[in-house]
């Protein structure tokens, strides 16, 4: 940082030490949580949409009804996944 930005700062002499401590802090990895909470529900939703389209296309004549059933079934699959994940995390 430049000198003008640091003037008047209470941590002017120790900010390098503070940034070193922040960078070297050890914490749990959030990768597993991100995959479980964000990525997997999206993948499940898309896969559910594709499977619902595959199975519903020959059976449902109306386009609007088929789209509604596809989205509804994909939402049900994701809701069940989230419910199972919450129960599993509550027990562990």
Q: DSSP readout, 48-61?
A: HHHHHHHHHTTT--
Distance CA 2, CA 23 (A): 20
Instruction: Round the average pLDDT of the chain to a whole number and report it.
Output: 87
Averaged pLDDT, 7-32: 77
Q: Which residue has the higher pLDDT, 32 or 78?
A: 78
In a domain, 12, yes or no: no
In a domain, residue 56? The reply is yes
For residue 2, the model assigns a pLDDT of 59
> pTM of the prediction?
0.69
Domain holding 51, by residue range, is 28-91
Judge whether 66 lies within some domain: yes
CA distance 11 to 9: 5
Q: How many domains in the chain?
A: 1
Question: Could you give the CA distance from residue 87 to residue 85 in angstroms, rounded to a whole number?
Answer: 5
CA distance between the termini of the chain: 45
Residue 3's pLDDT is what? 64
Q: Is residue 75 a part of any domain in this protein? A: yes
Question: Residue 6: inside a domain, yes or no?
Answer: no
Is position 74 within any domain? Answer: yes
């Amino acid at each position: 940082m430049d000198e003008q930005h640091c003037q008047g700062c209470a941590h002017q002499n120790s900010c390098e030490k503070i940034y070193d401590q922040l960078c070297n802090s050890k914490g749990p990895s959030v990768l597993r949580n991100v995959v479980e909470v964000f990525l997997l529900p999206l993948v499940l939703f898309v896969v559910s949409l594709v499977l619902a389209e595959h199975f519903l296309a020959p059976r449902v004549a109306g386009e609007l009804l088929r789209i509604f059933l596809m989205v509804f079934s994909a939402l049900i699959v994701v809701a069940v996944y989230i419910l199972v994940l919450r129960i599993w995390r509550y027990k562990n």
